[in-house]
């Protein structure tokens, strides 16, 4: 298990060094995914409705 984690970290490090905008692309994708999950969850609907945000996802 530890070896697998080390290999994964090595691969991420290598990728991030070779492609400078990779971290931004993955961060943007993660933010989009999180927003989608929050909008689809009952708790997210309640919180965002309470705050007045429109969390509808256009597909």
Angle, alpha carbons 39-44-50 (nearest 5°): 115
Q: Model pTM?
A: 0.42
Residue 58 forms part of a structural domain: no
How far is residue 29's CA from residue 53's CA, in Å, rounded to a whole number? 20
Kindly report the average pLDDT of the chain as a whole number. Answer: 76
Residue 59 forms part of a structural domain: no
- The count of structural domains within the chain is 1
Q: Residue 59 pLDDT > 50, yes or no?
A: no
How far is residue 37's CA from residue 21's CA, in Å, rounded to a whole number? 25
Question: 9: domain range?
Answer: 2-51
Q: Tens digit of pLDDT for each residue in 21-47?
A: 878 888 888 899 988 888 888 765 565
**Band (10; pLDDT cuts 50, 70, 90):** very high
Residue 14 forms part of a structural domain: yes
């Amino acid at each position: 298990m530890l070896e697998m984690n080390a290999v994964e970290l090595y691969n991420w490090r290598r990728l991030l060094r070779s492609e400078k905008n990779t971290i931004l692309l993955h961060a943007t994708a993660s933010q989009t995914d999180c927003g989608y999950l929050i909008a689809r969850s009952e708790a997210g609907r309640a919180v965002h409705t309470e705050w007045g945000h429109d969390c509808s996802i256009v597909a």
